[in-house]
Structure 1
Amino acid sequence: MRKAEALVFILLIVLAGVTVGGAAASKASEPPYWIALYLPTPSPPSMMPIVFVHGGAGSAQQFMSQAMRFTSNGYPPEYLVAFEYDSSFTVENLSTVLARLDATIDQVRAATGSNKVILIGHSLGTYVSLNYLSAPGHCEKVAYYINIDGSSGRSAPALVPTLAIWTNLSSWRSGGLLLGLVGATKNIWFYDQTHTDACTSAETFAEIFRFINWKDPATTNIVPETSDYVNVSGRVVIFPYNTYNDNVSGTLEIWEVNSSNGHRLRDSPDATFSITGPNGKWGPFQANRSAYYEFVLLREDRVAHHFYFEPFTRSNYWLTLLTSAPGGIADQVNRSDSHTSLLIIRNKEFWGDQGSMNDVLKINGTNVITPMHCPVTKLVCGIWVYDKDSDGQSDLNTPIQQFHSLLFQTGVDLYIEASTTDPPDGVITLELVSRGGKGTHVINVPNWPSSNHSITVHFNDYEPNVGSSQCSAESIKEDNASSNPAAWYYYLVTLFSNNAALLQLENYIVNVIHQEARQRIAPKLM
């Protein structure tokens, strides 16, 4: 009867129009006194698996940093799942995506033994997630929902505590007004971040961790592992479909390279994996955490696609390699034996018109981040660099429109001389100084000719142990559930779960007076 009494009491308060506040209300940092009379003290949540849903033109790449922050705080890798889908809705429609998301969540619940998951959506992924949560029975599988910079003005899911995170330059505006997510447990804004930055930043991680664990993380850093070798695995997929739907199989070779020039250190690869459709999975590969590596995808009748990264200091199971099939985006690049083409990616926007807060990316000494190519409102995360029209000339004043017109991308006309030998004997030095001078990243790659080779260079979206907090175990703040308003709200929400005797009353509260209850009671508990 204890639960029934609590439900009836809440119902009476709502119907009577009573608000929790004034002299009778408890302090803001404590739950209202009357809740303790009817409910036992809620226990802190146990660790639950996390499912991330990326945005448009996105992939698991936007989850890599946060996943490694979670493992740095003790989460097992199998509790961290990136759900990838065709964000263009070309090879699969929304209904298919939602069905696969539901199947993925069920698989994660079964594999971990957890009744519920944490669902995180970013950008278009918030649209997918909110559609998923609107279907009958789906909210019962989700303990918390995190809405990152998307679906402004929509309503938060019923009975799922929701954290909504927004940025200063979000595209989801109405007359210049950031609407937030209506009915969310908490809406917060990062005024010094942009769209993808808010998905991958240490600040966002800290907010998510506190919301789902009721305490601060031990660290917001990506902590290097103590062993000399780490595990790396992921997928090869065709952009933007996030499936390996090329009609030829491939081979992925991994080579350790010289950090000073990107040249291979040995005559044979350190690892080789067969790439087949539709999942394109590869790995795991044991990488020396202080070494640089080249990943090269070889396919019949396709150019060789080389990928270069900064050293993997922590195990990474979410490394998606984006490539093209014939007719894909890479076919828009002009190719020749005389010049090299590059695609440079960082899952944090490149800023080029913010003065002292600009990023600087020099390719053999030439900065390619300019106000024309990378205005902050363009939200550029991918920069295509090649010799437009193969004319041997550079034009840094005019962006290449084929790529500048695309979401999150731009194109730079820069002539980079290619090697005439195979393997190449030259080197291209890419030096990235992150905005605010927080860190310098350097990756050296060979000057492969673009006629038969594509090059993708990935820079980390974080600075190693710079600009983020790290706490000792002794200094972690433990939130007492009895004085944590969010804990009480979650407990009220989940109180009704799995109790057939209260189902009719629960449905009445949810369907008839839910909105009024949220407006009158929930804000007072926050």
Structure 2
Amino acid sequence: MSIRQPILTRRHFLAGSAALGLSTALPGCATRYDQAAPIVFVHGNGDTAALWHTTFWRWESNGFDTDRLFAIDFPYPLARSVDATYQAYRSSSTDQREQLAAFVAEAKRRTGAPKVVLVGSSRGGNAIRNYIKNGGGAAHVSHAILCGTPNHGVLVSDKALVGSEFNGASPFLRQLNDGPTEVVPGLAWMTTRSDNADKFAQPDGAALGMPGQPTGVTAEGPALKGAKDVVLAGLDHREVAFHPKAFAAIWEFVMGSAPATTGISAESSPLLNGKVNDIVRGAGTNMPVAGAVVEVYETDPKTGARRVMVHKQTTGEDGYWGPFRASSRATYEFVVITPDHPTTHIYRSPFARSSQILHLRPGVLTDKDKAAASSVTISRPRGYFGAARGDIVTFDGQPGPGIPPGIPVNSTSTLLLPAGTAQRSVVCRFNDEVIAVQSWPVADNRVVIAELHY
């Protein structure tokens, strides 16, 4: 089975840029960096390019040219159980290395830049290291920044995860870490990591489903000999890539000084677009879905009730559902209708800026969900929920289910409304972000997701 290469087109990707080289000033705004090295963002295991959209907004808010920011969307983002053994709808470390190489080449062609900056979250760092060391990437990369990457594995074992690229004893990681230094010379390296809140950098295997078993890994697991090591205290596995503090650290490493802001400057009428990505056998892919119907409704921010339909489109072969001109003051419901998945209602808080990587995946209904009147999930793609650090996760003011004490390990919380409950408003909250939804009935094969930006 061949793996389709990610395609980089103007329609598909927004841009901005990283700071190396010349800059020009724009009247009435911050310095604009439009001749800098482009940045290529690389998502993690099972993820999509969409996770980077708030990161893009921060780069743009500091004056970066949109056309110099790129995010790869690996077709099959989940790693194989055994890296060297074919597994349907999953990718090997070699697959991702080759796809990243092609993506970087296209980003360079589009911008005319001699080199790019690579920024990877979690597994994305594996692809970056493999490309630089084994795929000729050292000649094309100026900076490599690895955020929460399990550079020494999520465990070191000859009994568990044997052959996985996430095992520190695997041939893959052993060869990457071989030598007196663990980085390839000739470019600048940085790692960002948590002090103790990364679920995949723990001495105990509880987060891996092996409580009480030592992993052979510590909080220092993502650090590399030869790289600048930045510790972001209290942040979780995903936040060390997507949090404003992570943005500030990355900007300063590339630019040499702190960003003007870690906030996001709003546009009045952002332009939005993205793909509908497929789910196969319960596993998320980034393969486009043709023939999906996407409806977008402006909603009442207090109740989630529909005010008016503002967009409707059936996807073509490329899976794209837009473009759609939004308001940065409005809340929205995205409805994804496909023949092979539940009708999925995705509610979002206002979009501050434009994005072309707002990819949508249909939801799934478990047997447990199907016994309820409605299934409503709060989803945080760019971080986890941490009760111990005081995160507030509530449905209608009541604590969200499934958030254990201790380190942050879950990025979703699901409320199952009991059978017989009528459709109603549910107010979902994570700290300062509040999204009101409607509880559509499971009996009609519908699932509800409140997807957080931050």
Give the shorter-chain TM-score range: 0.7 to 0.9
Deviation of the 1:177 alpha carbon: 5.5
| Cα contact 1:297–1:304 (8 A) shared by 2 | yes
Deviation of the 1:378 alpha carbon: 4.8
Of 287, 309, 325, 1:244 maps to 287
Q: Which residues of 2 match residues 130-209 of structure 1 at below 5 A? A: 130-153=129-152, 154=177, 155-168=182-195, 169-170=197-198, 171-172=200-201, 174=216, 176=218, 178-209=220-251
Q: Give the whole-Å Cα distance in 2 for the aligned partners of 1:374 and 1:231.
A: 38
Tell me how many residue pairs correspond in the alignment: 366
Correspondence for 1:460: 453
Q: Secondary structure at the match of 2:370?
A: coil
Deviation of the 1:135 alpha carbon: 2.1
Q: Give the whole-Å Cα distance in 1 for the aligned partners of 2:256 and 2:201.
A: 29
Deviation of the 1:219 alpha carbon: 1.0
Cα gap change, 1:177 to 1:359, in 2 (>3 Å) = closer
Deviation of the 1:151 alpha carbon: 3.3
Matched, 1:287 2:287: no
Correspondence for 1:374: 404
Letter in 1 for 2:187: V
Correspondence for 1:351: 386
Q: Secondary structure at the match of 2:321?
A: strand
> 1:418-473 deviations in whole A, cap 9, x for unaligned?
32xxxxxx3112233x2xxxxx2222112210122111111231xxxxxxxxxxxx
Correspondence for 1:330: 365
Q: Give the whole-Å Cα distance in 2 for the aligned partners of 1:375 and 1:292.
A: 32
Q: Could you state the TM-score of these two structures normalised by the residue count of structure 2?
A: 0.74
Correspondence for 1:82: 71
Letter in 1 for 2:451: H
Q: Give the whole-Å Cα distance in 2 for the aligned partners of 1:64 and 1:110.
A: 23
> 1:8-47 deviations in whole A, cap 9, x for unaligned?
xxxxxxxxxxxxxxxxxxxxxxxxxxxxxxxxxx977951
Q: Could you state the TM-score of these two structures normalised by the residue count of structure 1?
A: 0.65
Deviation of the 1:193 alpha carbon: 0.9
Letter in 1 for 2:245: E
| Cα contact 2:346–2:448 (8 A) shared by 1 | yes
Matched, 1:320 2:309: no
Deviation of the 1:80 alpha carbon: 1.7
Q: Give the whole-Å Cα distance in 1 for the aligned partners of 2:412 and 2:50.
A: 12
| Cα contact 1:62–1:199 (8 A) shared by 2 | no
| Cα contact 1:150–1:172 (8 A) shared by 2 | no
Deviation of the 1:221 alpha carbon: 0.6
| Cα contact 1:164–1:184 (8 A) shared by 2 | no
Structure 1 spans left out of the alignment, 5+ residues: 1-41, 393-414, 420-425, 435-439, 462-526
| Cα contact 1:50–1:120 (8 A) shared by 2 | yes
Q: Secondary structure at the match of 2:60?
A: helix
Letter in 1 for 2:270: V
Letter in 2 for 1:385: L
Letter in 1 for 2:137: H
Deviation of the 1:145 alpha carbon: 0.5
Correspondence for 1:19: none
Letter in 2 for 1:448: W
Deviation of the 1:245 alpha carbon: 5.8
> 1:224-276 deviations in whole A, cap 9, x for unaligned?
12xx3111112221244432366x6211111111222212213xx31122224
Letter in 1 for 2:189: T
Of 297, 304, 313, 2:343 maps to 304
Q: Secondary structure at the match of 1:317?
A: coil
Correspondence for 1:493: none
Q: Secondary structure at the match of 1:216?
A: coil
Matched, 1:442 2:434: yes
Correspondence for 1:254: 296
| Cα contact 1:165–1:187 (8 A) shared by 2 | yes
Correspondence for 1:395: none
Q: CA RMSD in A?
A: 2.5
Correspondence for 1:116: 115
Q: Percentage identity across aligned positions?
A: 22
Tell me which of the two structures has the higher relative contact order, counting C-alpha pairs closer than 8 angstroms and 6 or more residues apart.
1
> 1:320-369 deviations in whole A, cap 9, x for unaligned?
21225xxxx53445225x611112111221112x1xx3222221232115
Q: Give the whole-Å Cα distance in 1 for the aligned partners of 2:217 and 2:335.
A: 47
| Cα contact 2:37–2:117 (8 A) shared by 1 | yes
Of 389, 394, 408, 1:362 maps to 394
| Cα contact 1:77–1:317 (8 A) shared by 2 | no
Q: Give the whole-Å Cα distance in 1 for the aligned partners of 2:302 and 2:135.
A: 56
Cα gap change, 1:108 to 1:175, in 2 (>3 Å) = closer
Letter in 2 for 1:117: V
| Cα contact 1:295–1:308 (8 A) shared by 2 | yes
Matched, 1:418 2:422: yes
Q: Secondary structure at the match of 2:374?
A: coil
Q: Whose helix proportion is higher, 1 or 2?
A: 1
Letter in 2 for 1:363: F
Deviation of the 1:206 alpha carbon: 0.9
